[in-house]
A = this chain, B = another copy of it.
Amino acid sequence: MERLLLRIDREIIAAGGKRSKSRAAVMERFFRAGDHVTVDELTRAVRKTFPRVGTVTVYRTLKLLARMGYANEVDFGEGARRYESNLDSHHDHLVCTACGTVIEFKDPDIEKLQDLVTRRHGFRPTAHRLEIFGLCRKCADRSAGRRQG
């Protein structure tokens, strides 16, 4: 983690950038924070320790991390996009429309079938996203309980 931040910093400098406290604070919080965070959420979190950090810097830092491959933009159709760290391998999402919980999953079989589909259409895939919306276990149980009294 400390390692990661150093590595990213070095990469930024190698590309002609300079270090900065605000950006460092944003990055640290981002990689510590639970994933799938909005710019607004992250800004509030960062400001607990660095109250003067502007929203713009959070926008810029997350865009930068995404460009460098350390973060992913995701969009669950809520109106604001979310970011997740891109340190571990690809996964897809179950999104609870009641409580907002996001469950990550990997399914190699689905991925294989996706490859077949694209091949069948002469399509050369570069990225994909699979999102399943519905009720997480907790919310499903709750609504079932309510239904039965």
Interface, chain A (partner B; CB < 8 A):
75, 77, 94, 96-97, 103, 105, 107, 109-110, 113-114, 117-118, 120-137, 140
Contacts and interface: CB of A to CB of B under 8 A. Distances in A.
Nearest to A93: B128
Contacts of A118: 94, 132, 134
7 contacts: A107-B117, A113-B113, A122-B137, A123-B140, A124-B135, A127-B134, A128-B131
A126 B113 contact: no
A96 B96 CA distance: 29
Nearest to A113: B110
B133 A128 contact: yes
Q: Which of A105, A114, A117 has the most C-beta atoms of chain B within 10 angstroms of its own C-beta?
A: A117
**Those 8 A-B pairs whose CB atoms lie nearest each other, nearest first:** A122-B137, A125-B134, A128-B132, A124-B140, A126-B134, A124-B135, A130-B130, A127-B133
